[in-house]
Every structure is written in structure tokens, then in C-alpha cells.
Chains A and B, each alone.
Chain A
Amino acid sequence: MASTACFMIVSKHDIPIYEAEVGTVPKKEDAAHQHQFILHAALDIVQDVAWTTSAMFLKGVDRFDDLVVSVYVTAGHTRLMLLHDSRNDDGIKSFFQEVHELYIKTILNPLYLPGSRITSSHFDTKVRALARKHM
């Protein structure tokens, strides 16, 4: 089954630091921009919801047509955002948890400046592998 998914990490200063299209649907030129737009619009809702619960995983905070936005807020208020059309909640949750671990490893790297773009190809490969595994 083909699915659409766009994954993005937003730093606590609202700057996107990592982005990946991880869906299996063939790429469309304008879709990437649309996905960015939807995720961007969801940031306000995330901000409101994040402080009402102690859970890190906020599922389905926003929706657009049949696309759903799920978010994982880390303790440092970095947001891992996923736009998806599948309903595999457990998979998405474990995807977030494992990406969170990867993200922690990345920020422990002394040569990475927190809040800057994640350019590591190792990180990119791992995230894409996790996306295939869980969604």
C-alpha cells in the first residue's frame, strides 16, 4: 500500500533542522511544499497542546484532508513532526521514540551545534530505515 509521509524536526526556536519525505508515494513537485505548509500551520496547535499534557507523543494534533499530523515533543522542546495518512499509531509511536534516541545521539556530538541543521548522512539513512520499518 502506498502511503504519504513527511517527517520534519523543528528546533525550539521554530527553525526546521531536518526534513525528509519518507512516504512510498511517487514524489510530486508541489507536494513537498504543501507538506511543509501543513506542518508549519500545525506548530501553533502543538504549542497549545504541548503544555496541557505530560505526554511527549501527541497523536493527531491536526488534520488536512486525509493527512494527519502527529508530533513528539522532546524535553528540550524540539518537535519531531510527522505528516501521515496511515493509521498505524503504535508504529508511529515507536518510530518517534527511536528517532528521539537518534536525535539525542546527534546532539551529544560535540561538533554539532544545537539548533543548526542536521546534515549527517548517517542520521538521514537511519531515519529513512526506521520509517520503512515502522510505517
Chain B
Amino acid sequence: MAPLAPKSGDAIFASVERVNAELFTLTYGAMVRQLITDLEEVEEVNKQLDQMGYNIGIRLVDEFLAKSNVSRCVDFKETAEVIAKVGFKMFLGVTASVTNWDVEGTTCSIILEDNPLVDFVELPDTCQGLYYCNILSGVIRGSLEMVSMKTEVTWLRDMLRGDDVFELQVKLLKQIPEEYPYKDDE
């Protein structure tokens, strides 16, 4: 029998290696700063962050599945719960909650009340269109794509823009059936 999916990532979080939170926050900040300097347009920075997140996500999902002992999720609802409760805890040390399901069960919101990426950060007037944490949406998109779910992840609320929480909308576009790289009779 497959092991039961853990209800929270606390145990895994306690066992994985960690880095100093300030080092992490400032490193991410320095990276965003450099992207703004290099690309000049905040729209381009948003795209680049999303792409970087995607590249992280497609690799990170393997580590996640290897270490977290979660079993196959039966539906998208369970997937979202696992991301919020186990995934976020394991890699960011915070727990998110899942709400705002639509009737078909394909769209939901992941709510982050605490986000270590944005300590110290305040958006200046010159960066108003920036989604500072856009890397997170890319990570979710990338990792779900690797487990055959095509999703669209957008920011609905952002604390840096004056909202009270971070809200990520995750929309399931389609499930991609697993494709075998060769046919049986070849």
C-alpha cells in the first residue's frame, strides 16, 4: 500500500537542509534588481522571472516527489492542497491555504499570508507593474506540467501592491495523458 500523503510538510521541513532566511531573501532581491537593470522593462522582468520559475519547477518537482512521500493525487483539489500544505512548507517554510474553488473544481486560489521573498521589499514608483514574486507562479506552472497538468498561474493579490495577502490563482487548463515514447510493436 502506498504511504498516506502527509497532511503537512512540517516533518520534511525539519529534515531538509536550510539556509539563512536573510541570505535567501537578499539573494533573490539582488537577482530581481539585476533583471530590472538588464531588461529595463518591468513586463520583461515579469516574463523572465516566470521563465526562471518554470525552469526551477520542472526540476524541483522530482525532488519534491522523492522526498515528500506523497502518493498520486486523485484529483486537482488534492494536488492544490499538497502544493499549499506540503510544497510551500518544504521549500519556503510557510504554509499556504487553498480557497475559492469554482464549480468545476479546476480553478482555485492559493493564499499566502507570509512570504519570505518580500521581507524588506517596497515597490518604488518606477517598478509599479512588477510582480516581485512571479518566480513562484513559474515554479507551480513548471512542476505541474511535469506531472501532466497544464496550468495557468496568475497573481490576483499582492501585498507589495497594498493587498493584505498574496493570492495566486491556479487554473487547470487540461490534463495531458502520459505519452509513451515508443509504440509497443516497434
Contacts and interface: CB of A to CB of B under 8 A. Distances in A.
A106 B28 CA distance: 16
A122 B33 CA distance: 21
Contact of B36 (A109, A111, A120): A111
Given A105-B120, A109-B120, A110-B26, A119 B33 contact: no
A112 interface: yes
Contacts of B120: 105, 108-110
A57 to B, nearest CB: 25
Contacts of A106: 122
B123 A111 contact: yes
Contacts of B26: 108, 110
B125 A111 contact: no
Contacts of B121: 109-111
Interface residues of B, number: 14
Interface in B21-52: 26, 28-30, 32-33, 36
The secondary-structure label for the interface of chain A is loop
A119 B124 contact: yes
B14 interface: no
28 contacts: A106-B122, A108-B26, A108-B120, A109-B29, A109-B120, A109-B121, A109-B122, A110-B26, A110-B28, A110-B29, A110-B30, A110-B32, A110-B33, A110-B120, A110-B121, A111-B29, A111-B32, A111-B36, A111-B121, A111-B123, A111-B124, A111-B127, A112-B122, A112-B124, A119-B125, A120-B122, A120-B124, A122-B122
A81 B11 CA distance: 50
Interface of B: 26, 28-30, 32-33, 36, 120-125, 127
Given A111-B29, A112-B122, 15 more contacts: A106-B122, A108-B120, A109-B29, A110-B26, A110-B28, A110-B29, A110-B30, A111-B36, A111-B121, A111-B122, A111-B123, A112-B124, A119-B124, A120-B122, A122-B122
A106 B36 CA distance: 18
B32 to A, nearest CB: 6
A59 to B, nearest CB: 30
Interface string A90-118: 00000000000000011011111000000
A110 B28 CA distance: 9
Contacts of B28: 110
Contacts of A111: 29, 32-33, 36, 121-124, 127
A129 to B, nearest CB: 17
Nearest to B121: A109
